[in-house]
Structure 1
Amino acid sequence: MNQNIIYKLEDLIKNNNKILFYEYLKILNLYKFFIESVQEFILEDQLEIITFFHEKALNKHFDIFDILNKTESSIFITNKTKEKNFKLALEYYRNRSIYSLDSFQSIEAIKKTNKYTYSVIDFLVKNTSLISNVYDFNKEMFQEKLEYFSSDKEFYEIYSDKYCDIILIKKNFFQEFNPSLFSSFGLTIRFCELGQIGFKKDTIILNENEALVTNGISLGQYKVLTNDINYLTIHIKDKFLKDFNIKEINYSMKKLPWKIEKNSSFLFENLNTLKNNQILILNFLTKIILELLEEKNSLNFKVLSESNILKITKFIDNNLENPNLSISQLQSIFGFNKNILIQLFKKNYNICPSKYIINKKLEYASTLLIETKLSVTEIASKLNFSNSSKFSLNFKNKFLYTPLQFRKKYKELK
């Protein structure tokens, strides 16, 4: 019942005042982050907060920041801890949005008010960057941006429930940087089946058939670097890990070679159908977690397990500048005939070995263009293309831009 009331109030606020709606979302997310450091966030908390903002929507003279000057409780009448954390979220938001302070300055300003205990201030100081990420990211604004492009959702799919968020991007229709999904809780898996993604933080490049697994780490903004893209983000929420007693994943950020088998890919092409089949999605999430915990090694969504193909691709990755790198060299080193090599690559990557080598060289070239000052001719020579024109043609076919256009367009990644 409470969830239905929340949905209705959110719709009323959004239709009445979209700016106020986004204020509500940001403050709600900040409150969730703060309160979950001391106790569980529950649906009734959100109901109290949305009711507060609904009052603002009905009364244009109502100032949401007035309660910061009151000593008595205004929102959570019977719970001083929740009231304090809500006011903390309001105060941080006001410092950032109204006073234009950065995260560090906002926390310093909060410290000077002398309203909060040492333990609260210590928590804020230790989590300055995380709190800033919570403030900056707004999934609903991102989703609304997606909705603008296609009413039939041919470019993307979105699925969300209490256990996970899944976003599938099928086309490069964002030309500028966009916020990547961030959550300080749970586990986020970013998988690039086709194309290439560049993240602003640490100049991270996610290539085809690679997954980036993060736990409480923000990657900042991202750009799609290729014309063709099939990019999947799966956020496994903390509630799933708690409800099913999943032990903690041992790493905060890790890149893996990863592949989606055909018998699982239909899930992502028909995300809307999952709303009527929660057992299917729960089973799928459990398989991912088990794989990451290395308790299973043969799942629908799995790390490539064939030792032969792993050895070969590792060799290719380590020898991209080797002038002798070719199918013939792979045959000689690994003892497979040409037909076996083609079968291995077709099965695992749906392309032939020579195309795989070219793709890897071009992915490496894109990194060199962003991270170094090498000229196009020098990069072409370094990767043993016969000439810079042939290199530029191959590069443009994959990335839509010439090497120089690519360097100029994505220099912000550096």
Structure 2
Amino acid sequence: MSLTKDLTLLSDRINALSESQTLAMSKKSRELAAKGHQVINLSIGEPDFQTPQHIKDAAKKAIDEGFSFYTPVSGILELRQAIADKLRKENNIDWKADNIVVSTGAKQSLANALMCLVNPGDEVIIFSPYWVSYSEMVKLAEGETVLLEGPFENDFKVTADQLEKAITPRTKVVMYSSPSNPTGSVFTEKELREIAEVLAKHENIFVIADEIYEYINYEPNYFSLGSIPSIKERVITINGMSKGFAMTGWRVGYMAAAKWIADACDKLQGQITSGTCSISQKAAVAAVKGDMKPTQDMAKAYLRRRDLVLGLLKEIPGIRTFTPKGAFYVFPEVNDYFGKTDGETTIHTADDLCMYILNKVYVSLVTGEAFGAPNCIRISYAASDENLTEALRRMKDALAQLH
């Protein structure tokens, strides 16, 4: 059977789907590393810290106590109550345990919400630059993505005025992350209240607020859109354990929403995965209820690394950036290098630049095109100070050869 024929036998929805470019770059990095090259991977959004010990201990205890059976689809009550308490205390979002659905990672929580709200042809406004999977999830839900681009001068943040102009009778969902992947930008309380004023006028529009990087935030007084009473019933708050607690492989995410939305997501999840790993859920209880010092220490380390990377980037001509307020990414504009060559390779796009840097000096980055910003690249600083310093030195050397 030919490759072409094989693809025609696949469903239209999977053929329409794009491969994650962040995972694709990681795959290419591994291939080069397997050939013996010393690759520094700054392409993947994963903490480089170990899961805190008290969380691992809780998982071991759950194993020893035989907590290995199916759990309720939405998660064990102990965890959902702990999440509800956290949201009330830290985010001023007053939901009960029945409003919480725990899933196998925040990615599943996002997909659940979209699949339960979006009909074919519904428009989903995504604040851009955006996390790569948002638009692909909208495709799976048979909706239509409307990208709303935040200006560089506003740290890539979309304004309330922009949102108001983008809304149409077909708009069903607005979707964003704060702190943002890929930009590291954080919406202020003032900015989110202005956005809420726009949304309050449109009672059939819902918001998916992705707060997965909440704890990697360098500004005081983090603010959640879901705490605003006028739109509370229409905000689906997404969060999880992976970033703030260095628990990427444990696969625990959650959503908080009006009960009828939570019930719909429970219904969907019950037909796809049911409840997530029982042991991971017990570990998540310890994360949400336990000592926050390890999380705070990680955030301090990320802040130091951010400043290290920003300082090193200033030494490279032709790169324009701003100071991100959260997450662990720097998202500089690099279009000054478009059209330049080292005599062998000519750079036309950010994709070309990332591949040039990977093949020339073995540093793995991600093109901004994957995030809706084709003039940018994403640099993850979830890496050691030594690797960051060496990676930026290599990048500087490689870029200096372009004329």
Larger radius of gyration between Structure 1 and Structure 2: 1
TM-score by length of 2: 0.21
Larger proportion of helix = 1
TM-score by length of 1: 0.21
